[in-house]
Amino acid sequence: MSLRPAPEWTGRIDGAGDEHLRWHSAVRPFTDAPGPGAVVVGFASDAGVRRNHGRPGAADGPDALRAALGPLALQQPLSIEDAGTVVVGGDALEAGQALLATTVTTALDAGRLPVVLGGGHEVAYGTYCGLAASRIRSGRKVAIVNLDAHFDLREADRATSGTPFRQILLEERARGAEVRYAVAGIARTGNTRALFDTATRLGVTHLLDEDCTHERTIDFVDEVLDWADLVYLTIDLDVLPAATAPGVSAPAGLGVPLTVVHAAVRRVAESGKLAVADVAELNPAYDIDARTARTAARLIDTIVTTSSRTNRRHRSGCPCRR
């Protein structure tokens, strides 16, 4: 287990001015000097997927996501940094999650928006622990908004990609912290009755994939945003239809349309409450023409660019949704 330094970003070059700006020319290595902006950090792990008896390959997700992000055009200069990649070797999942948490906390305490590039959905436990340990967490209500076909509330002897939100809820509530978990995109056929019962017992709200129209999904997200002070947004790419996202650990039989997922992501990003985000379960070995990676890159771009615009309005005193 190690933190691999940020790679050199590459992509198309059309010219030297800001009018030709792309992600690869905007990204700089992360420093913990205080200031605004976003920082990406990779989490190269499929140890949790293996423990959950899924198909491995998500450990290659961070590199594929950087490759898809690099060529994307930026309409204005942004502060984007790269903190490198937590590489989980063998079965050292817990140590990898702890290192990820430390990296996320450092970024948050420096004033950045961390965006974690997974990796299996075991990334969620590390991402959240980083938020929980940060200065901005103290005394605030945190909502986890998960766009996912699965609850990931399994009970197991050790952590897997199917256990992170059960771990988070039980540990946070034992400490008396105010945390709420809401999932949009749940597949009835992908979650047993026991998991639905666990969700009910833990006070989890959810919206089924078949009910995820644009209006109902935005209403679902808005209700969570109205309650929360801070939001952790986590996107499991298996929430999308298999035709849109074939390169995932568990392709969807139905899925939520990309336009609806994108609208939900944008809604959270423009709320002014987004503290941290991650994208999970990209499995490049099963992708087709980098279709899943490109889709995920577009969602990440929306998170970063929308949050940046929203934060600039907040700093200038412009009234907007909080």
Annotated binding residues for Mn(2+), as ranges? 121, 148, 150, 152, 236, 238
User: For residues 110 and 141, what is the distance between their CA atoms, to the nearest angstrom?
Assistant: 21
User: For residues 158 and 82, what is the distance between their CA atoms, to the nearest angstrom?
Assistant: 30
Question: Residues marked as binding?
Answer: 121, 148, 150, 152, 236, 238
User: For residues 21 and 24, what is the distance between their CA atoms, to the nearest angstrom?
Assistant: 8
Tell me how far apart the terminal alpha carbons of the chain are, to the nearest angstrom.
38
- Look up tokens 């099963």; give the residue: 286
User: For residues 235 and 263, what is the distance between their CA atoms, to the nearest angstrom?
Assistant: 13
User: What's the maximum distance between 2 C-alpha atoms anywhere in the chain?
Assistant: 57
User: For residues 225 and 230, what is the distance between their CA atoms, to the nearest angstrom?
Assistant: 8
246: tokens are 């074939």
- Look up tokens 């959950």; give the residue: 52
Q: 170 - beta bridge partners?
A: none
- Three-state DSSP class for residue 48: helix
Q: Cis ω on the peptide bond leading into residue 119 (within 30° of 0)?
A: yes
Q: 277 - beta bridge partners?
A: 115, 233
Q: 207 - beta bridge partners?
A: 184
Q: 146 - beta bridge partners?
A: 183, 234
Crossing angle (nearest 10°) for helices 123-132 and 164-174:
20
DSSP state of 60: G
> Are the beta carbons of 184 and 147 closer than 8 angstroms?
yes
Rg of the chain in Å (alpha carbons): 18
